[in-house]
Amino acid sequence: MEAVSDNFATDQTPTKRLERIFSLQKKAFLSHPYPSAAQRIELMERIPEMLRKNREKILAALHEDFGGHSEKQGDLVEILGMFDRAKYNIANVKKWMKPLKKEVNPVTLGSSKAFLKYHPKGVVGNMVSWNFPFDIGLGPTLDLLAAGNRVIIKPSDLSPACGKVLEEMISETFDEDQVAVVNGGLDLAIHFPSLKWDHLVYTGSGAVGRKVMKAAAENLVPVTLELGGKSPAIVHTDSVTDETVRDIAGVKVVKRGQMCVTVDYCLVPASRLDVFTDKMIAHFQANFAEGNCAEHACGIITDRHMKRLQSLVDEAVDAGVEVTQIGENVAGGSRNMPFYIVKNPPRDLGLMKEEIFGPILPIIPYDDTSDAIRFVNADDKPLGLYIFSGNQNFTDTISEQTQSGGVAVNIAALQAAQPSLPFGGIGESGMGLHHGIEAFREFSNPRGYFIKGKGGTFDAITPPYGSATEHLIHDVAYAPMGKQILFALKRLPGDLWKRMFT
């Protein structure tokens, strides 16, 4: 009872609770800094079962926070995706943990050995964005557990129902000193990156990402930042088809465009602009107009975000741009904003200068391949780049002459859903990686090991220096190649023998 009382006293605010758990995890890590593969696997195995057990609560929380959320979309992206990531990490973590042999020079080092071994970093913070509260809360956590770390998750205060469910699930599934969730508002968000984490993961806007990185830099904390950006879909003449339109539209509908790797805008051949735009409008009208797409998408996260998005649409309309609305005007407190197809907006409009992050799809004409490349490269480097083409030369030219966090061909966004592929940005779209072995390495400390063996020239290269040192420097290192080869041939047989049998 006394311990419970002490915890209650220290947990009067979210920041105090964070500090207590942080201290608890730091102490726990020092007592057990290198968990076995079996221990890591057992921890990761808990997450799929936890999600199965709490499926109804998760779907209800998504519905509450977003003012409506497709159950199928909730299942597919927030729950089932974690099954695949857990399965992949569990199947591979033993292999990832094996030491990596490094080359040594047998002439000078004899039978000595060198290898790299990945050690856990320690206690890692995961700052989660509101658009995928469970996927981003638990996906990096699976990677962090695979690397042997302890984790504290901070959900976004814009998705409080999801944050509450995440905290309840985690507290029922893990000990506090292994994985914990701390919910809170602005004070917690400001305080969270200021701690002396061993690593910090942040997913969200670039503006906040800069603040997070600045706070982390005060303690020299390494960061992984996933920040989004304006990800283009570049369509070749041969791919102005119903299939391309369907694939782009389907990705845009996920989370009603509130997804960091969604298609922000389309680049299509100028000669096919009208055809492509008409196809896109027809597809949206046929599939996503009824009920403002409530069956397939979610609501806009807040009224403030609705107003920002509506202002982008209004600015385009006021500028005389052709804007087609798919669905009805929002009424009665609903946040199921209609979709908008915007044809050839000028580059100085807000929707072409900032990441849209909503149900607005600009379609821009280009004249030739170099024109499309110039258009993409004039913006910051995006998180995703999508090429729709059956022409390999076009695909190679676009991908090789642009930069992005990831690339997908003839589909969009799925590069971010593959457990085996690294996911992350470049430049303004972020830094660092998660997913798969790249995440394991990102969240590990790669320690180099050197083990002295028999043979070699150790006596010559360490003080006190003598005639052997003089010989090594002047008669070998600075000698002509022939003398160096002769020196190696004299030493190699014995050193190789020692390497083989010691």
Q: What is the set of active-site residues?
A: 226, 260
Q: How far apart are the two ends of the chain, measured CA to CA in Å?
A: 58
Interatomic CA distance for residues 68 and 465, integer angstroms: 77
Measured between alpha carbons, how far is 248 from 409 in angstroms, rounded to an integer? 11
Sheet holding 199-203, edge to edge: 179-181, 150-154, 123-127, 199-203, 223-226, 430-431
- Tell me how far apart the alpha carbons of residues 431 and 417 are, in angstroms, rounded to a whole number: 18
Query: How far is CA 77 from each of CA 31, 81, 128, 465, rounded to the nearest angstrom?
Result: 36, 5, 15, 65
Identify whether the C-beta of residue 407 lies closer than 8 Å to the C-beta of residue 395: no
| Cβ-Cβ contacts under 8 Å for 327 (sequence gap 6 or more) | 288, 289, 290, 291, 292, 293, 336, 338, 339
- Best CA proximity match to 260, nearest among 398, 358, 352: 358
Secondary structure in 3-state letters for 425-441: CCHHHEECCECHHHHHH
> Which region holds residue 265: left if phi is over 0, alpha if psi is between -120 and 50, else beta?
beta
Q: Which residues pair with 119 in a beta bridge?
A: 445
For residues 202 and 209, the answer to whether their CB atoms sit within 8 Å is yes
Q: How far apart are CA 70 and CA 76, in angstroms?
A: 10
In the structure, how many helices (H) and strands (E) does the chain have? 21, 16
